[in-house]
């Protein structure tokens, strides 16, 4: 037990955080490891059941009834899991714009929008259209060598061959009020301190948004279930947030920061011991957890099978104001993976981008867990289902779902130690 805990304890101490569960575990000698017990409560079947439930709402695209119904369902599930103190953040999309802002560009309603790579003076193009080489000076961090697959966002309803899924996604979004739901595991001794675990519940692409980001949403919901069990106590608080409007520019996460940043650590009412917004200790995002099948080949296609060297990517942003602390948090998660995950290892990278941890990264240590490096791999076509009609349940196998489960094991193990989780006998 001591060997398991020391790596995580060392990183926790470097962050200025004492993990009480680790000290209790060391003093207990050969006593049962509460972290291992909690990790064992995560099962592939439970993870898949929660994820499958999300698919009934199609792609859960923001501004639609299917999105609102999904938010209601998530809230009901959280309450059924025992995380009963659910609350919502309300905001308007699109957000108000400054008077001197440039006009918005309206995306096309039909067809398929394709992202075009930025011009790259130093890159070469293969005979099959794949680009070889670095992305060029000033491109911002991530680089990749080899072939690139095409990426984009499907907006064509008829590109979805499954009639049932097509009908689920027929409604187009309408501007207006939005909401997103969260619940909180309240700490027993440090209720005024909190880790935020998040994933975005909205998707698009005329699909079931299984991977992007049902996989992360189900993960966070399963962690809420585990930590909300009657026999689980944590010294610090944990908030489970299911963001909305990620696909439109992280609007839900940005609204949360704008509305709740200044409320941190304020006891309300004074003397009550209640902290509506505990002080943020770290933010952990989960976004696309299932597909690590390798790079596109010369034909632009990706293997149908999960690659043997698949791993959980843990990313921080190296140019953020909290980069050093975020890096330490990332390596703490890697150590937790090494000690408690059952199937897949973890790798740490410095280019976290385009996900809901971004609005937090200059304020608090922030990391993102996902299937591949966001900038260098997802953006290079390693996931051909990204925003496409193929992001549906039948695309994935248990090898894929198990990668998501291992990400859940990683986060659960790390957060259990950071919050001082224990089991009441």
Residue 18 has pLDDT above 90, yes or no: no
Read off the tokens for 238: 């944990």
Decide: residue 150, CB within 10 A, 0-12 exposed, 13-18 middle, 19+ buried.
middle
Q: pTM (2 decimals)?
A: 0.88
pLDDT at 120: 31
The HSE-up count of residue 372 (CA atoms within 13 Å, CB side) is: 25
Q: What pLDDT score was predicted for residue 132?
A: 38
Residue 208's pLDDT band, with cuts at 50, 70 and 90, is very high
Q: Which two tokens stand for residue 251?
A: 């609007």
Mean of pLDDT values over 189-211? 98
Q: Which CATH number fits domain 36-97+119-423: 3.40.630.10, 3.40.50.2300, 3.10.620.30, 3.40.190.150?
A: 3.40.630.10
Q: Residue 169 pLDDT > 50, yes or no?
A: yes
Chain mean position to CA 260: 20
Which residue in 360, 357, 362 sits closest to 411, CA to CA?
Answer: 357
Mean of the per-residue pLDDT values for the chain? 88
Residue 129 confidence (pLDDT): 40
So where are the chain's domains?
36-97+119-423
The pLDDT, as a whole number, for residue 121 is 29
Q: What are the residues facing 390 on neighbouring strands? A: none
Q: What pLDDT sits at residue 144?
A: 60
Over residues 14-26, the mean pLDDT reads 49
81-90: pLDDT as tens digits: 999 999 999 9
Residue for token digits 């996460």?
A: 253
pLDDT tens digits, one per residue of 361-417 = 999 999 999 999 988 899 899 999 999 999 999 999 999 999 999 999 999 999 999
| pLDDT at res. 8 | 53
User: What is the pLDDT averaged over residues 263-267?
Assistant: 97
Asked if residue 386 lies in contact with residue 271, where contact means CB atoms within 8 angstroms, the answer is no
Could you please report the per-residue DSSP string of 129-143? S-EES---TTS-S--
Rounded Cα–Cα distance for residues 326 and 284 (Å): 10
pLDDT for the residue 28: 45
- Chain length of the chain: 425
List Cα–Cα distances, 20 to 144, 232, 275, 322, 341, in angstroms.
41, 14, 21, 24, 21
| Residues 6+ positions from 274 with CB-CB distance below 8 Å | 191, 267, 268
Q: Give the helix/strand (H/E) hosting 260.
A: helix 251-260
The number of helices, as runs of H, and strands, as runs of E, in the chain is 10, 14
Higher pLDDT, residue 196 or 15:
196
Are 317 and 366 in contact by the 8 Å Cβ rule? The answer is: yes
Tell which residue, 21, 18, 49, has the closest CA to residue 36: 21
Q: Which residues contact 258 (CB under 8 A, 6 or more apart)?
A: none
What average pLDDT does this structure show over 226-254? 98
Out of 95-109, 135-149, 223-237, 313-327, which region has the weakest mean confidence (pLDDT)?
A: 135-149
CA 61 to chain centre: 17
pLDDT at residue 244 tops 70: yes
Q: pLDDT tens for residues 291-340?
A: 999 999 999 999 999 999 999 999 999 999 999 999 999 999 999 999 99
The pLDDT assigned to 284 comes to: 98
For residue 13, the SS3 value is helix
Q: Name the residue with higher pLDDT: 157 or 120.
A: 157
The 10 Å Cβ neighbour count of residue 226 is: 21
3-state SS, residue 247: coil
Surface-to-core class of residue 291, CB atoms within 10 Å of its CB (0-12 exposed, 13-18 middle, 19+ buried): buried
As given in the structure block, the two tokens for residue 290 are: 């299932």
Burial class of 53 by CB neighbour count within 10 A (0 to 12, 13 to 18, 19+): middle
Q: Higher pLDDT residue, 371 or 4?
A: 371
Structure tokens at 123: 């890159």
């Amino acid at each position: 037990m001591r060997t398991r805990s020391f790596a995580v304890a060392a990183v926790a101490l470097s962050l200025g955080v004492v993990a009480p569960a680790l000290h209790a575990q060391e003093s207990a000698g050969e006593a049962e490891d509460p972290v291992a017990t909690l990790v064992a409560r995560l099962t592939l079947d439970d993870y898949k059941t929660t994820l499958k439930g999300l698919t009934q709402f199609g792609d859960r695209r923001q501004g639609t009834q299917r999105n609102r119904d999904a938010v209601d369902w998530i809230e009901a599930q959280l309450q059924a899991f025992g995380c009963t103190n659910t609350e919502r953040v309300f905001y308007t999309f699109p957000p108000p714009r400054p008077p001197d802002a440039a006009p918005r560009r309206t995306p096309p309603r039909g067809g398929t929008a394709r992202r075009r790579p930025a011009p790259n003076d130093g890159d070469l193009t293969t005979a099959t259209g794949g680009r070889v080489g670095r992305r060029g000076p000033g491109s911002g961090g991530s680089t990749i060598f080899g072939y690139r697959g095409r990426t984009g966002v499907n907006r064509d309803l008829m590109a979805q061959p499954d009639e049932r899924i097509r009908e689920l996604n027929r409604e187009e979004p309408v501007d207006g009020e939005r909401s997103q739901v969260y619940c909180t595991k309240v700490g027993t001794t440090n209720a005024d301190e909190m880790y935020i675990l998040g994933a975005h519940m909205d998707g698009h692409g005329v699909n079931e948004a299984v991977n992007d980001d049902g996989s992360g949403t189900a993960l966070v919901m399963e962690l809420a279930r585990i930590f909300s069990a009657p026999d689980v106590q944590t010294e610090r608080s944990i908030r489970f947030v299911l963001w909305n409007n990620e696909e439109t520019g992280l609007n839900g996460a940005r609204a949360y920061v704008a509305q709740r940043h200044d409320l941190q650590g304020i006891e309300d009412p004074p003397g009550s011991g209640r902290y509506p917004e505990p002080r943020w200790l770290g933010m952990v995002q989960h976004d696309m957890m299932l597909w690590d099948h390798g790079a596109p080949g010369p034909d632009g296609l990706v293997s149908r099978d999960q690659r043997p060297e698949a791993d959980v990517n843990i990313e921080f942003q190296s140019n953020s104001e909290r980069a050093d602390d975020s890096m330490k948090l990332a390596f703490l998660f890697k150590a937790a993976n090494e000690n408690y995950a059952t199937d897949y290892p973890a790798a740490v990278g410095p280019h976290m981008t385009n996900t809901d941890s971004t609005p937090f990264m200059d304020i608090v240590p922030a990391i993102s867990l996902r299937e591949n490096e966001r900038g260098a791999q997802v953006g290079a076509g390693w996931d051909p289902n990204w925003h496409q009609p193929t992001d549906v349940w039948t695309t994935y196998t248990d090898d894929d779902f198990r990668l998501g489960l291992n990400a859940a094991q990683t986060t659960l193990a790390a957060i259990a130690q950071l919050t001082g989780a224990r089991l009441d006998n």
